Each structure stands twice: as structure tokens, then as C-alpha cells.
Amino acid sequence: MSSHTLFRRLGLTAGCVLLCFVPAWSATYYVDCNRPDDLGDGLTLATAKQTIQAAVDLAAANDTVLVAKGVYDKGGKAEGPGWPTNRVCVTKPITIKAISDNPADTVISGAADPNSDPTFPNADFAARAKGLGQSAIRCYRCTRLVEPKGALIGFTLKDGHTWFDPVEERLRKKPRGGGADNANIGGGALDGVLSNCVIVACKANRGGAVSYCKVYNSVIRNCVGFAGGGASYPSCDFYNCEFTGNTGLVCMFDTTAVNCVFRGNSGGIAGYPSERPVYHRLYNCLITENSGSGMILGLNQGVKEKNVPLLVNCTVVSNWITGQKDTPLFVSRRTGQTPSIVMSNCIVRFNCNTNAPGVECNGMFNDESDISNSCISPDVTGKPYDKGGNIATWPAKDGMGASGHLGVEWK
């Protein structure tokens, strides 16, 4: 082999190696709602797009869209023909980030269906369904085919609404596709990763705030799930989040919550009102001042292998249980049966029923439950589900007070 040929081959090899280390280029696009239109190229704030969707459509995978302060209530896109409209619809893995660190400064606003006027004999049902319909607009949608999921950082998602069908089976019986599967879930966001967001006043049939999302360091407030899931449904993970003022069983079906606070919600905290298995995992959470017919729905007898819901290092205090005076804090999805619960290192005290104020009703468990190292009343020691380390006496009774808690005297 000649030296010329050898050097030429070595040069080609070196060039290939260098190409392997060239980083993938990514672009940044800008959005400012104060711009007159979407005619700018979006490459600077001075030439920004007016709507977020216009910048998203321009972006390629791994690009970033930076959004200036303001309310974004124009534009939108459906995922396809026959699908609901989203204020922002993402079909590629991109990051959408507010320029301000304060979510209150940058708002993505959905919209209720102006023609929605549901009629129900029950006024509460009518109020919860109002605004849902085929002219509604969801705030944010990241299609499921996108991997890794797109990220939305630093926004308020407000007034997102979905389609509505009072008889959900009619949606389920439609052929897959055409929006039938996802038309009525996730009023605030459907799929994707959210961080440092506030999701407020959003509504859906189920999953008023989010569906199929991972949510970090965010607040979910005053959202409504007509058929449950005021905050989420299904399969959502929450880390360092606060849930307050949500209506409808707050988290439905397959929820993980870590370092979260649930305060002042109505309709219960975690469960799924059917025979379908649920996989709730609550770690280091505070659950307080909520109301519902059962705070946490467990499994019925005979499904020990599921062992859910799971509560670890949680504090469950001062919740109001509605319904019959003997309704417990933890209830089964199957009437007349006690639930299976796995609980470790928890405090479950001072929860009472609105029809029996002052009487603690913290839980009834079936023999397949697993309770350990927890403070819970009534005393579970010696029961089949007592796995050791449990106490019934409140260790800090003097500090917290045995009376006046939620305005009642404890018995």
C-alpha cells in the first residue's frame, strides 16, 4: 500500500471519528403575545411569533421555545381531524419554557365550550359539566408518539376544557383514533412533562388538570373532574406538588405522589370507582382538611397480590368523611367489603365523619392489609394486618391539642 493511500485512509477515518463528536444543533425560537401576528421569523424577541403554536410548528426535535410574559389565548391546533383543539399541540420532543420564573406571569388559557349547557336533575352535576363540549379548548397536548416527552416549564395553565359525553361508554365504543380515546380527559394537559407550573380552573370528564403526565414542583388548584379525577386521570406522577380546592376524586387510577400536599379538596384523594385495579403510591405526603365519601379507596378482599394503595411516611389528619356515619377513611371499591391497604410509618388520626363529629373514623382494613410502624386509631395491634410497631395514642397530643381540632371535641 502506498503512503499516499495510507494517509488518505487514515484521514478519512479521523474525519469519521470527529463527526461522531459533533454535537447535534438545536435552535431557539421566541414568542411574545404582544406581537401583531405570526409573520416574524421567531429567531429573536424583536421578531417573535405571536402564538406559541406558531413557534412550536417551526421548531424541530430538541429545539427550545422561549415565551415572554403575557396571556396566550389565541391560536391552537387539533392533533388530527376529529380530535379536540389544544391551545398548544406538540408533536416532537421540544422544550417550551417561560422566560419569567414566576408562573403567574405567563398564562396558557384554554376555553370552555360557549354552547355547553348540560341539563341534569342534580344541580351539582350540571355545574360540574358546564363548559365541557366539542368547542372546548385544552391548554396543552403532547402526543403519545413523542419520546422523550416534551417539557413545559414555568406556566399557568388556566381554563382548559375537554369534550364531554355524560355516558362515557359512547366514547369508548367508537373506533380507536379520531380523538375518541383522549377527547374527554386532561383539561389542563394531556401527556408530557410539566415543571414549575400552576394548573388552575381546568375541567374534563376525568382528569380535570392532567392526564398521562409527569408533574414537578407545581400547584394543581380548583380543577374539576365531572366523573372523577379532579386533578388527574390516569397514570400520572407528581413530585413536590400541592393539590388544593379540586373537585371529584382527586387522583384516579395509577398515581404516584412524592412529597406532595393534598389540602381542601372534595371527593376523596385516591382511588378508582370500579373493579379495575388501582396502583396508588403515596410517599411523604400530607393529606389534610379534605372531604369525601372515602379519602382513599382501597382494594376489596381477594386481590392481595395488588397490595395497593401504598402509603409510606404519610400524615393523614383532619379530613372530613361524608356519607353514612360509619363510613371509614379507607373504603373498598366493592360495597360491603373492607379494603386492602399497605401502610408504613404513617400518622392517621383526627379524621371524622360529618354525621358523627368528634368520633374518629380513621380506617377499617381487611385481613390482607399490611400496617406497620404507624400511629393509627382505632388500635390495630394484634389484628391480622398488624405487622408490628403500631401505636394508637397520639404521641404529640399536648402539642396538637385533643380538642378544638377542626372545631370538634375528640372522643
Give the mean pLDDT per block of 10 residues along the chain (411 residues).
Answer: 41 38 72 98 98 97 97 94 92 96 98 84 79 94 83 98 65 39 89 97 94 97 90 93 92 87 89 62 93 68 52 91 71 59 89 77 75 87 90 61 40 40
- Judge contact between 338 and 357, C-beta under 8 A: no
Distance CA 130, CA 62 (A): 38
The pLDDT, as a whole number, for residue 16 is 42
Q: Are residues 237 and 112 in the same domain?
A: yes
- Judge contact between 230 and 189, C-beta under 8 A: no
Q: Looking up cell 379507607, which residue turns up?
A: 330
Q: Are residues 240 and 320 in the same domain?
A: no
Of 249, 281, 298, which residue is a domain's last? 249
Q: Are residues 138 and 281 in the same domain?
A: no
Nearest to 189 by CA among 169, 218, 165, 166: 218
Residue 11 lies in a domain: no
**What pTM does this model have?**
0.85
Q: Are residues 76 and 171 in the same domain?
A: yes
Range of the domain at 243: 58-249
Q: Are residues 168 and 274 in the same domain?
A: no
Q: Are residues 187 and 332 in the same domain?
A: no
Q: Which set of grid coordinates corresponds to residue 1?
A: 500500500
Q: How far is CA 391 from the centre of its chain?
A: 33
Residue 38 lies in a domain: no
DSSP, collapsed to helix, strand or coil, labels residue 14 as helix
The pLDDT, as a whole number, for residue 298 is 62
Q: Are residues 173 and 284 in the same domain?
A: no
The pLDDT, as a whole number, for residue 116 is 84
How far is the CA of 134 from the CAs of 78, 118, 310, in angstroms? 12, 13, 37
How far is the CA of 164 from the CAs of 124, 186, 254, in angstroms? 16, 12, 22
The pLDDT, as a whole number, for residue 150 is 86
Nearest to 191 by CA among 200, 199, 182: 182
Q: Are residues 322 and 397 in the same domain?
A: yes
Residue 169 lies in a domain: yes
Q: Are residues 214 and 362 in the same domain?
A: no
Nearest to 224 by CA among 242, 200, 240, 241: 200
How far is the CA of 17 from the CAs of 10, 11, 14, 20, 171, in angstroms? 11, 10, 5, 5, 53
The pLDDT, as a whole number, for residue 223 is 96
Of 249, 282, 303, which residue is a domain's last? 249
Q: Are residues 242 and 120 in the same domain?
A: yes
Domain count, the chain: 2
- In which region does residue 331 sit, left (phi positive, over 0), alpha (psi from -120 to 50) or beta (all else)? beta
Residue 5 lies in a domain: no
Nearest to 375 by CA among 346, 338, 336: 346
